[in-house]
Amino acid sequence: MTKIEEILQGILTGNKRSIAKAITLIENATAESKKLIAKIYPHTGKAHIIGITGPSGSGKSTLIEKIVREYRQNGKKVGVIAVDPTSPFTGGAFLGDRIRMQELSTDAEVFIRSMATRNYPGGIARATKDAVKVLDASGKDVIIVETVGAGQSEVEIIKVADSVVVMHAPGLGDEIQAIKAGLMEIADIFVVNKADRENADKAVIDIQSILQLNNKKNAWKPPILKTVALTGEGVPKLIEKLEEHKQFLRKEKEHKKSLLKAEAELVEAIKEQTARAVIEELKRRGKFEELLQKILKRETDPVSAAEKLLEESFRKV
């Protein structure tokens, strides 16, 4: 058996070591990872993928720990992927999200993995998607992806999910602004954590008022739930809503969302692969370097150069 097949077999039987190795292959962006993903793809699509995001300090990891416990009590197998940023200066990363979930790490049916954003070809969103596929193929019923809700790349990561939970907590001040900027549109459920605090109701009202501004007519109305992650208060209700949303997605005619998701993935893959193919071909022909020099000398600009190149390539095709 080749190494890839061995890993594949391991994944399909839920072997933790194989899952871990597979994600490492994806993280390292090796050629093998592409083959592996191709092989596991037929085994995916069963898990309910939940994205959880929100500003730091909103209590994401603590809530996730409680969510996982609740799912485990219901007999579900759970995977968690926690994404943290890579330092642009040193290339290193500090991955500390699992700290609140450490007690779960010894549960045979829970798999937790921390990923750094690195400098992935195709972006961290691609790598996260692939890691989710591995967990999906390994038989996890629920897969949770956690990111800090700031910046475009995080929004991209969270789009991997079927159901997106956007968190907020009282006392985080202006960070509601951060939620506004891009996450409001993709949220399926809002959670106001630390609901035992003063101002929790104000946080709810803040979200309501922003939601009212958004007058898009959707069949799914994102509920706003209150939780106290520390004690687990409100978590069963959250799970209930997540299940409802899952059913909703199932019923939704033509699986519109799944279609959109598949389309987005396909487009992304085409983009990446065509770009690479074109670049490699140009390099082979020595054109790439030539154009680079021209750009450096200011004889042409990058956008015109790219246009010209594509024109030429397509003429050939």
- In the complex with other proteins, which residue's Cβ is closer, 48 or 194? 194
Closest CA to 235 of 59, 117, 88: 59
Phi (first) and psi of residue 81, to 5 degrees: -120, 120
Residue 106 interacts with other proteins (CB under 8 A)? yes
The two structure tokens encoding residue 49: 């993928």
Q: How far is the CB of 171 from other proteins (least distance, A)?
A: 7
Residue 62 interacts with other proteins (CB under 8 A)? yes
Q: How far apart are CA 36 and CA 147, in angstroms?
A: 25
Binding segment toward other proteins, per CB under 8 A, in 19-27, 139-147, 255-263, 302-310: 19-27
Among 13, 45, 46, 96, binds other proteins (CB under 8 A): 96
Q: How far apart are CA 257 and CA 240, in angstroms?
A: 20
Phi (first) and psi of residue 158, to 5 degrees: -70, -20
- In the complex with other proteins, which residue's Cβ is closer, 40 or 116? 116
CA angle 50, 54, 58 (to 5 degrees): 115
Q: How far apart are CA 249 and CA 186, in angstroms?
A: 14
Q: How far apart are CA 281 and CA 181, in angstroms?
A: 39
- In the complex with other proteins, which residue's Cβ is closer, 260 or 269? 269
Among 1, 31, 219, 296, binds other proteins (CB under 8 A): 31
User: Pattern 229-268, binding to other proteins, x per CB under 8 A?
Assistant: -xx-------------------------------------
Among 151, 171, 223, 236, binds other proteins (CB under 8 A): 171
Closest CA to 224 of 176, 190, 256, 267: 190
Binding residues for other proteins, rule: CB under 8 A, are 3, 16-17, 19-21, 23-24, 27-31, 34, 57, 61-62, 65, 86-87, 90-96, 98-100, 102-103, 105-106, 111-114, 116, 118-121, 171, 230-231
